Structure 1
């Protein structure tokens, strides 16, 4: 397989006929047919359905698979051609849980782009337990996980720890900010799994999560429920503060508080220079992050 063959096959599929591919590539239709036949002969496959009177292209099963291979081949060629520009520009992939992306690092990401114009960032949401395997497989460059693990050639640093508080719809003349755990009605709980330590604490007061009526996996889903009933939830203070600014929830401390949640910055040792710049920038932003996750008791009435 060579470049002209791949280019020919992709043109046939994209344009829908051999004649249009010939016009597009400025060659004769017989040349197009010969290139297609050479591919089929080389790999002992039939790539196109050939029916008399049918002008449009239809791929066989082998043709569908070869199409995916041809796309990868084309992508690799483009990447090779762009090596020079890629030496001065880079895309750094960052993976984290939803709540860290949307309520803590969302103010940091724009600053990365502003101060490092040669670096593009790709932001992906993953579960905490996925972050380490993605780092190990080099599918992401930098990860933020709520779990601490030890892996060979992987660097793990505590980025921040964060208080957990209870939130509920706003109550008129609400004054009590420390509530006994046993006053909360389990049936009204909106449960989010904040990790093993939180799970153990939760089970002590309300039993296993299977006893809860509503379990969700993103903080944004809380908004719909909290506005429509006497629901309550335990969330990190960064989320509580974000919701509280909107003016319709109360933030409460619990008599037996949940354990703080920890967030770890995870990366492979020996990062390339661009990923290292992003990593250092985020870690040096700890003062800004600590302001976002500052404890609620220090800001009563905020």
Structure 2
């Protein structure tokens, strides 16, 4: 039996109208009538009662009995289509450090979210965890802040971000730039941005003076920022905060901290079934990082 005949009858049982059925299937009314007659001829029974000149129809007893068969066929056909789509689904799992995940990758996630053929699993993890899971091929792609030489892991720097001061203090906020030596370290909310950053930090701030708070969560540091405190974060995180809280200031340094480097890592021998999806995802990341570099240069 021609599936188009079943499809037409299944829609007709819902609309009970030839014109509406034709519109839903993008057919002419004569084609709908032809298919209905062909189905009746094949089954050897009348399925609908027709009134000349009227587009509305009524199902006969045979039509009502066959309706359940046609709707069952429609349901099975939908499942076949969904199965076909699922079999072509690309899956990628990634591990990302907190500050990259929350403030730099949102546009990447939005683009993937709108792609029905890609399924993305995101894990927020520490750098060491990400390296371990990439080596074990538990996740496909990792984004970390440090390069750790490991034989089976491929590492590529994808971005270096400017670091800026964030504060609610009007006195600091109205400055064109800030001298790190004039900042009060006891008002600092401290985040560790790596070895090079620590060298720069220790050059300007006495180690015996404790920061106001030490945390490894950028999100938490934003929540705790008050009128007297300050912190140093990547430019992307600072602008994300500015969009939510208008009373903060973003100020560059006259003696700049080292840029925050971000690395993309993958296993040199990924699972064969995931290779195409991994390469597509890496290309998407490269595209967005190119756009971010242009944005950063214009700030």
Report TM bin, short chain.
0.5 to 0.7
Change over 3 Å in CA distance of 1:209–1:275 after alignment to 2 = farther
Write the deviation string for residues 142-190 of structure 1: whole angstroms up to 9, x where unpaired: 0001111222232111111100011100517953221111211111000
Measure the CA separation in 2 of the matches of 1:126 and 1:119. Answer: 22
Measure the CA separation in 1 of the matches of 2:230 and 2:257. Answer: 14
1:66 is matched with which residue?
none
2:99 is matched with which residue?
99
1:110 is matched with which residue?
110
Does the 8 Å contact 2:130/2:142 carry over to 1? yes
Instruction: Report matched runs for 1:164-243 at 5 Å.
Output: 164-171=163-170, 174-208=173-207, 211-226=210-225, 228-243=226-241
Q: C-alpha displacement at 1:84, in angstroms?
A: 9.2
Measure the CA separation in 2 of the matches of 1:261 and 1:148. Answer: 12
Q: Which deviates more from structure 2 when the two are superposed, residues 201-210 or residues 260-269?
A: 201-210
Change over 3 Å in CA distance of 1:121–1:173 after alignment to 2 = closer
2:277 is matched with which residue?
274
Question: Helix, strand or coil: the match of 1:179?
Answer: coil
Does 1:284 find its partner at 2:287?
yes
Instruction: Report matched runs for 1:237-256 at 5 Å.
Output: 237-245=235-243, 246-256=245-255
Change over 3 Å in CA distance of 1:210–1:90 after alignment to 2 = farther
Measure the CA separation in 1 of the matches of 2:178 and 2:294. Answer: 25
Does the 8 Å contact 1:129/1:147 carry over to 2? no
Does the 8 Å contact 1:95/1:126 carry over to 2? yes
1:264 is matched with which residue?
263
Measure the CA separation in 1 of the matches of 2:217 and 2:169. Answer: 21
Cα RMSD over matched residues? 2.4
Measure the CA separation in 2 of the matches of 1:223 and 1:146. Answer: 20
Measure the CA separation in 2 of the matches of 1:181 and 1:187. Answer: 13
Measure the CA separation in 1 of the matches of 2:127 and 2:215. Answer: 16
Measure the CA separation in 2 of the matches of 1:138 and 1:209. Answer: 43
- Alignment TM-score, normalising by the size of structure 1: 0.64
Does the 8 Å contact 1:167/1:249 carry over to 2? yes
2:140 is matched with which residue?
141
- Alignment TM-score, normalising by the size of structure 2: 0.65
Measure the CA separation in 1 of the matches of 2:165 and 2:208. Answer: 16
Question: Helix, strand or coil: the match of 1:285?
Answer: helix
Q: C-alpha displacement at 1:191, in angstroms?
A: 0.2
Does the 8 Å contact 2:160/2:261 carry over to 1? yes
Measure the CA separation in 2 of the matches of 1:174 and 1:268. Answer: 44
Runs of at least 5 residues in structure 2 that lack an aligned partner in the other structure: 1-82
Question: Helix, strand or coil: the match of 1:193?
Answer: coil
Measure the CA separation in 1 of the matches of 2:148 and 2:203. Answer: 25
Measure the CA separation in 2 of the matches of 1:248 and 1:91. Answer: 41
| Greater C-alpha Rg | 2
Q: Which deviates more from structure 2 when the two are superposed, residues 180-189 or residues 90-99?
A: 90-99
Does the 8 Å contact 2:163/2:256 carry over to 1? yes
Q: C-alpha displacement at 1:224, in angstroms?
A: 2.5
1:156 is matched with which residue?
155
Q: C-alpha displacement at 1:209, in angstroms?
A: 8.7
Measure the CA separation in 2 of the matches of 1:94 and 1:173. Answer: 38
Measure the CA separation in 1 of the matches of 2:90 and 2:132. Answer: 22
Q: C-alpha displacement at 1:134, in angstroms?
A: 1.4
